[in-house]
Every structure is written in structure tokens, then in C-alpha cells.
Structure 1
Amino acid sequence: MKYRTAAVQYKLADIDTFDQFAEQVTHYVRNASEYGVQFLLFPEFLTTQLMSIGDEQGNALTIDRLPEFTDSYLDLFRTLASEYSLYIVGGTHVIKTDDGSLRNAAHLFHPNGKIDVQHKIHITPSEVEGWNMSAGEGLEVFETEYGMIAMLTCYDIEFPEIVRMARAKGADVIFCPSCTDDRHGFYRVRYCCHARAVENQIYIVTTGTVGSLRKVDLMRANFGQAAIIAPNDIPFPPAGILSEGIINDDMLVVADLDLALLEDVRARGSVTTWRDRRTDLYPDWQ
């Protein structure tokens, strides 16, 4: 099976209304539809742009106000996924759980209106200290018309165990929305994406925010680049990069994912890292 995927290098800028956010998101979806994509990935924390709308005094909204936009966020992306007949990983949006805690949640919008959610499992110190974010408690993989996928957000990709679990559950593609503010953070995520692709013989689609929210603390600087990454083996480009963007530019990155090639390299590749794992020593905890 083969399908086309795209990732958005989403340019953050201060806005005044939700409609402005919706217009920008819709632009990227329309652009992707012109390329005939079946999957589209937005970056982590793209809805922090809504915090720049501000309160009555002109101050940026605080993070605990962001869940107020959840219904509008869900309606927007659900409508776009249906209208353009594609799967959309709507980046991440901060939601409030029943116990009142804040979670950073990735959402998969299906063309038929279904919505799957994966809470970020590993939380960075800045998310805890700056925004009082809490960690998700489990990993799911999600069935689509084009096979099984998982959504692991930014810091999650830096933990080999959780990606190994996703592959053991059947995921062939990991969508990794990210948000990093400098080169150090960006390259941590990017290098780990390549490592996870090699270890598990999977595709990883990743992207990050670019631009700046001048009103919003912790979002004043962004360093990002989208990439569609494959295992480093002969059927794929030598560097394992199917496509990548121009760093910190506002753009869309597109590539085709051939799932049959993954099966080929798992069975007959130059190395067979998935087949040769030592589950007697380090089991695939599911």
C-alpha cells in the first residue's frame, strides 16, 4: 500500500480572533489537497496561537484558558477532514481532563468524522514548570484506511521504549508533531526520529512550529523543520530523508509512503533490526 502524506511548517503569529486561526489552518489543508495527500500533519502547540487573542486588558490568555477553544478546534478540523477527504493530525491542543489537569493532546481527525486522541506521554520540565502540564497514561495505535499509525509528540520520540511499543502494536508510521524553540531542542527531536526509524524500520513524519508569538510566554521563539523520514536502507534515500522543508520557513512538505518497502526491508534488508531484536532480554511491553 502506498499513500501520500504532508507536514505543515506552521508559522505562528499573533492573531485577534479564532476566525484568523481557522483561515490559516484552512489554507494549509487546501494546499495539501492540491497535492493529493491522504494524511496531513500539523505541529505541536499550534493552538497556542489562540492565546495571543488576549483578554479584555490586551494581555495574552493563560494556558488554562486554552481548553475553552476545544469545541471550536474540534469542529474546525473535523469539518476540514470531511470536506477534503483526508486524515488530519491536528497537531496538539491543550485539553482539561475530568480531574481538572491539563494535557497536551494530539488529535487524529478521520474523513468520516471519527476523532482519535493520544495524550503526550513524556512532559518536558518547561511544560511542567511553566504550564503545569500533566502526562498521559497510555499508548494507543490507530487504525486507518491506510494502515496502523501512532501519534507521539515531540519529547515522546526521545524515548526508544515507547516507539518500540507502538511498532509492536502494529504501527508502521509515527506522526510526531513537535515544538522546539532552539537548535538544541530541534536536533534532539530530529536525530531521535532518525534513530527510531532505523531501530523499528518504520516511517516517521515530523514537523514543528516556526515564527513567533510575541505576546505568549514560552512561545516567543520557534525553530522548526518538517521531515518525512525512512529507514536507512537501499530502497530509500541514503540519508533516510524522503522530503524535508527549509528551516524556519512557512511551507508544506510532501512525500509518498510505500508500506510494502517496509515489509521488504524487515524481511530482507541490509540489516533487519526489527526481526533481530532480543525480546528475551528487552520485551516489547504492550
Structure 2
Amino acid sequence: MLVKIGIIQLDIHLGEINRNVNYALSNIQNMVEKGVRLIVLPELWTSGFDYKHLEKIAETTPKILQEVQQIITANTLVIGTLPEIKKGKLYNTAFLIDKTGLLDFYQKSHLFTPSGEDKHFTPGKKAVVVTTHLSKIGVLICYDLRFPEIARCLTLKGAEILAISAAWPLERIEHWRILLRARAIENQLFVIAANASGTQNKIKMGGHSAVISPDGTCLIEADDSETILITEIDLKRVYTFREEIPCLKSRRPEIYNV
């Protein structure tokens, strides 16, 4: 099954919700017109890590999700993370929506302590695979990429695609590029990764959003500037590659307990 994929690599202006949202919505609409069926946005794409105002910004999240829903078609899926308040706690939440509304959500489970994320956000407690009309999609957020356990968990839950929203810094961009390919190769699925560009809190974001095939081939990759990517993937490749090299069938979980 051929699916057209879009990534919006956004130069997220810290706290400038109108600017960020207008840019994203304009590009979502353009992608929909071009037949893109899965669109992935970076981490906290409406505001960036504007820690002083995140709780207030979270109040805008329902309205923004509605605005996205209004401009997409029945066969379009959109994934990106926004701040969310739930039962008095702040979460970094990836929302997967289509024309009907919210399909599912994933709350970031690995918080990046060196930057103080754990002082502001509550970690999620569940790995999420969303069954859609396109594919089974597992969702990761930024620092989650460094943990092969959660990617493998999503694979064993049936994921054919890993969608990753991130704000990964330029300083460690080679880690990002290597880990994207590693997660794709070891789990034999497509990785669709949207990173931020620009600067947040004096930290230069790394860009290099990419789509990686199940055999580790990079199908498309950005540089570090604000841009959009569009490419096409063949979901059948997940299963043909798993048959060629049956890593998942060769697993021996009885010796992996650590």
C-alpha cells in the first residue's frame, strides 16, 4: 500500500502561538491538497518549551486541534505534540487526529532531565499504538528515541510505522540521525520523524527530519532550516523485509530478562 507522507519541520518561535499555528495550518492545507495522508509535526509545535507559560498555552490545545480537524480531509491523519492539562497535571502529549476528531494520544514517558523537563511535565505511563485506516502507528516523543525498549514494545504491539515528534538539538544531531536508522532497522518498520528547527531557550534545534525505511534507507531528509518534506512509502515493504530477515520471529525473550 502506497502512502504519501508529509513532515513539517517548523522553526518554532518560543511562545508565538499565532505565528507557529498559522505556518503549520497553511502547510497542512497545502499537503492535504497534494494528497498527503499522514502529516507529522515537531514537539510542542505551537509554542516550543515556553516553560513559564505552558499551563496557559495548554488552554489553547483543544481549539487548535479543532482547527486542524477542520482543514483536513477524511483520509488524512495528523500527529504532533501539544501541552495538555489533565487532572491538574501538565503533560507533553502527542495527539493523533483525523477528520472525525481524536483517535488516540500518547503522553511522553521519558522526560529529558538535563533540561528540566521533569520539573514541569508529568511522565506518561503507557506505550501507544494507534490502529488507523492507513496503518498501525506507534508514537514516540524526542528523548523516547534513546530507549530501544519502548520502540520494541510498540513493534510487538503491531506498529508498522513509528511517528516521532521532537525538539532535538543540533549539538547532538548525529545521535538523532543514527538512532532513527537504528530504530527502523532493528524493528523493521518505517520511521517518520519530525524535528524542530530554529532556536529555543538559546538552544539551536537540529532539524534533519527524515523518513527511514525498514531496511534503514533514508528516503528523504531535511537540513536544519524550516522546511516541509513530502515522500511516499510502500507499507508492504515492512512485511517483505521481515520475511527476508526474520528478526522478530527469531527473538528469544526468555533470555532477555534483565
Common fold, TM-score beyond 0.5? yes
CA deviation profile, 1:191-228 (whole Å, cap 9, x unmatched): 11111111110000001111235xxxx36532212100
Report matched runs for 1:1-286 at 5 Å: 1-13=1-13, 18-49=17-48, 61-82=52-73, 85-89=75-79, 91-98=80-87, 100-128=88-116, 131-184=119-172, 186-213=173-200, 218=201, 220-232=203-215, 240-245=217-222, 247-267=223-243, 269=244, 271-282=245-256
CA shift for structure 1 position 281: 1.8
Structure 1: 5+ residue runs without aligned partners? Answer: 52-59, 233-238
Q: For the structure 1 residues 104 and 50, does the alpha-carbon distance in structure 2 shift closer, same or farther, using more than 3 Å as the test?
A: closer
CA contact (8 A) 2:195 2:209 kept: yes
Question: Secondary structure of 1:256's match?
Answer: strand
CA deviation profile, 1:126-179 (whole Å, cap 9, x unmatched): 453575212100112101111210111111121111111101111100000110
Take 1:50 and 1:69, find their aligned partners in 2: how far apart are those partners? 15
Q: For the structure 1 residues 163 and 15, does the alpha-carbon distance in structure 2 shift closer, same or farther, using more than 3 Å as the test?
A: closer
CA shift for structure 1 position 21: 3.5
Q: Give the counterpart letter for 2:181 in structure 1.
A: H
Q: Give the counterpart letter for 1:253 in structure 2.
A: L
CA deviation profile, 1:35-94 (whole Å, cap 9, x unmatched): 32110000012122595xxxxxxxx95223221212222222222334x741011x2111
Q: For the structure 1 residues 103 and 114, does the alpha-carbon distance in structure 2 shift closer, same or farther, using more than 3 Å as the test?
A: closer
Q: How many residues align?
A: 257
Q: For the structure 1 residues 68 and 173, does the alpha-carbon distance in structure 2 shift closer, same or farther, using more than 3 Å as the test?
A: same
Take 1:230 and 1:183, find their aligned partners in 2: how far apart are those partners? 25
More strand per residue: 2
Question: Secondary structure of 2:46's match?
Answer: helix
CA shift for structure 1 position 27: 1.5
CA shift for structure 1 position 22: 3.2
Take 2:64 and 2:102, find their aligned partners in 1: how far apart are those partners? 14
CA contact (8 A) 1:21 1:49 kept: no
Question: Secondary structure of 2:256's match?
Answer: coil
Q: Give the counterpart letter for 1:275 in structure 2.
A: K
Q: Give the counterpart letter for 1:261 in structure 2.
A: R
**TM-score, normalised relative to structure 2:** 0.90
Q: For the structure 1 residues 210 and 80, does the alpha-carbon distance in structure 2 shift closer, same or farther, using more than 3 Å as the test?
A: same
Identity %: 23
Question: Secondary structure of 1:139's match?
Answer: coil
Q: For the structure 1 residues 14 and 123, does the alpha-carbon distance in structure 2 shift closer, same or farther, using more than 3 Å as the test?
A: closer
Which is higher, the Rg of structure 1 or of structure 2? 1
Q: For the structure 1 residues 15 and 64, does the alpha-carbon distance in structure 2 shift closer, same or farther, using more than 3 Å as the test?
A: closer
CA contact (8 A) 1:198 1:273 kept: no
CA contact (8 A) 2:95 2:102 kept: no
